[in-house]
Structure 1
Amino acid sequence: MAVEDDLQFERDGNVARIWLNRPHKKNCITVPMLERLDTLVTEIDADPELRVVVLRGRGNTFSSGFDLDSLQADFIGSSTAMEVAVISAKICDRLYNMSTPSVAVLEGYVTAGGFELMISCDFAIAEENALIGDFHIRRALFGGAGPIYRLPRMIGIRKTKELMLTGKLLNGAQAADFDLVNASAPAAELDATVAEFVGHLTDKSPFQMRLTKMAVDRGLDADIASLMVLEHLAVGVTLNSEDAAEGVAAFLEKREPKWTGR
């Protein structure tokens, strides 16, 4: 099967959809899939018409991690593991830092490398019976694409240690309680929940959406004084944008805004 079949792209109006498509392998990830994901993320982020990207797995499962069978060299005791970790980290970082908001839709297994993909997205919506967790420690392995620097910022250090040191799996509701996902829904309501959530993102100013996402992301690594400067700069840029003028005019004229993305 070609990598284009393993990782599928669809365009639904102003929403991009990326599907992991190896359900027979619980959507295990390969290096060619990561490289194609890198290309797709770059293309999506360069398209001003696309407002949101949704990442999901075929076959009612997200991803159970990296496909060790796909590696040509002996994984343990070779440089292959480090090379894969570097590639994975680079692509997950590209996904995390893209200016287009991303939403992971979680079903079935969301473990190891699949878990790392999920925490690289801005938002996550989980089916209530999904199985979500880092899992690496159960195989005496260590995740190399984000858990030690993204997870503590997302859920705090104590919950990070609980997930990483125990290898426990959370269902959708438990993941919501952990602040690991934005919402959990029964299988029959999952698509509607995702559609409603995505709708709250696509009707906003694309200019302001990207600016706000950048400011929040960068703010995680800055001190308070730097954040104040960043906020003031963001306000200044915003007040000189076409979308801000349109947003105020639409409010005063009691109509829906027409965004230009500038």
Structure 2
Amino acid sequence: MDYKNILCTVENSIATITIHRPQALNALNAETVQELNDVVKKISADTTVKVVIITGDGEKSFVAGADIKEMSTKNAVEGRAFGQIGQDTFTLIENMPQPVIAAVNGFCLGGGCELACACDIRYAAETAKFGQPEVGLGITPGFGGTQRLPRVIGRGAAKELLYTGGIIDAQEALRLGLVNKVLPQGELMSAVQGLAKKIAKNAPVAVQLCKAAVNRGINCDVVTGIAYEAEVFGLCFATVDQKEGMSAFIEKRKADFQGK
């Protein structure tokens, strides 16, 4: 997959998407968001991909935000359109069948924090910085930050970050539950790849249905959520992987999942 601002590789059923605009600290301009939208759609349809990793190029920045220089000249109609494509793209990431892990290797601000929140799991380097500084620019978050951040860290903590435009370090992000784990920069990618491999060895359909159940349930009442869980639980028993997984357990051998 050839793009101007994104690198994408697939190895051992794991796709790695790297935001590649080092000259702009990997800031998201319209072209980059469109490319991300395109690659996510292609990976979502690729049944050979079991896990996705998203990271930024280099060791300084994951995504430093949306491209302020590009945004500065937009009018209201153009601004809304830019926000909409960003929201659409991040919703695709949130709802793509495969689990998505964010490897946050540096600045994770504005659109970068919104991108990370659209991922299922977030690992961060010790040097990472997080925040939604949009109010200091006279705007609100536009790629889903006012909605996903409160769902990840809670309403009070999210409002404090959103209203102040403050920036927090990786350890504070860990305390708030914004990231799952903090690691030295040099160990980040190996840890994320190790996690991806652990996920990839399990039954793909079951993992994907877990993701769907969590995403569906978090936005509805618990009774509706557990009803949906019952449906996907039952659906698992129609899969080849369920027969293989349980047979392997009974026969005390390693399961060979086919994703069917």
TM over 0.5: yes
Residue of structure 1 equivalent to 2:84 = 86
In 1, are the aligned partners of 2:213 and 2:229 still within 8 Å (CA)?
Answer: yes
Q: Does 1:30 align with 2:29?
A: yes
Residue of structure 2 equivalent to 1:19 = 18
Task: For 1:228, give the aligned amino acid.
Answer: I
In 1, are the aligned partners of 2:53 and 2:102 still within 8 Å (CA)?
Answer: yes
Task: For 2:3, give the aligned amino acid.
Answer: E
For residue 59 of structure 1, report the CA deviation from its aligned partner: 1.7
For residue 207 of structure 1, report the CA deviation from its aligned partner: 0.6
For residue 178 of structure 1, report the CA deviation from its aligned partner: 0.7
Output the CA distance in 1 between the equivalents of 2:169 and 2:217.
Answer: 30
In 2, are the aligned partners of 1:172 and 1:185 still within 8 Å (CA)?
Answer: no
Deviation per CA, 1:136-188: give whole Å up to 9, x if none.
12222211111222111111101111211122222222111110011100112
Identity %: 28
Residue of structure 2 equivalent to 1:164 = 162
Aligned partner of residue 4 in structure 1, secondary structure:
coil
Task: For 2:11, give the aligned amino acid.
Answer: D
In 2, are the aligned partners of 1:18 and 1:55 still within 8 Å (CA)?
Answer: yes
Unaligned runs of 5+ in 1: none
Residue of structure 2 equivalent to 1:51 = 50
Output the CA distance in 2 between the equivalents of 1:181 and 1:133.
Answer: 13
Output the CA distance in 1 between the equivalents of 2:3 and 2:190.
Answer: 27
CA RMSD of aligned residues (A): 1.5
What is the 5 A alignment of 1:190-201? 190-201=188-199
For residue 21 of structure 1, report the CA deviation from its aligned partner: 0.8
Aligned partner of residue 62 in structure 1, secondary structure:
strand
Unaligned runs of 5+ in 2: none
For residue 14 of structure 1, report the CA deviation from its aligned partner: 0.4
Q: Which deviates the most, 213-222 or 147-156? A: 147-156
Output the CA distance in 2 between the equivalents of 1:78 and 1:221.
Answer: 29
Aligned partner of residue 251 in structure 1, secondary structure:
helix
Aligned partner of residue 7 in structure 2, secondary structure:
strand
Output the CA distance in 2 between the equivalents of 1:227 and 1:109.
Answer: 35
1:188 aligns with one of 176, 186, 189: 186
Output the CA distance in 2 between the equivalents of 1:189 and 1:17.
Answer: 16
Residue of structure 2 equivalent to 1:99 = 97
Residue of structure 2 equivalent to 1:152 = 150
Task: For 1:16, give the aligned amino acid.
Answer: A
For residue 191 of structure 1, report the CA deviation from its aligned partner: 2.3
Output the CA distance in 1 between the equivalents of 2:188 and 2:225.
Answer: 36
Which 4+ stretches in 1 moved above 4 angstroms? none
**TM-score, normalized by length of structure 2?**
0.94
In 1, are the aligned partners of 2:6 and 2:18 still within 8 Å (CA)?
Answer: yes
In 1, are the aligned partners of 2:217 and 2:226 still within 8 Å (CA)?
Answer: no
Deviation per CA, 1:88-147: give whole Å up to 9, x if none.
111111111111111111122100111111111111110011111111122222111112
Residue of structure 2 equivalent to 1:257 = 255
Aligned partner of residue 4 in structure 2, secondary structure:
helix
Output the CA distance in 1 between the equivalents of 2:44 and 2:19.
Answer: 19
Residue of structure 2 equivalent to 1:225 = 223
Deviation per CA, 1:55-95: give whole Å up to 9, x if none.
11112111111113235x823x5422111111111111111
Q: Which deviates the most, 141-150 or 42-51? A: 141-150
Residue of structure 2 equivalent to 1:235 = 233
Output the CA distance in 2 between the equivalents of 1:18 and 1:185.
Answer: 20
Residue of structure 2 equivalent to 1:66 = 66
In 2, are the aligned partners of 1:99 and 1:214 still within 8 Å (CA)?
Answer: yes
1:132 aligns with one of 130, 135, 148: 130
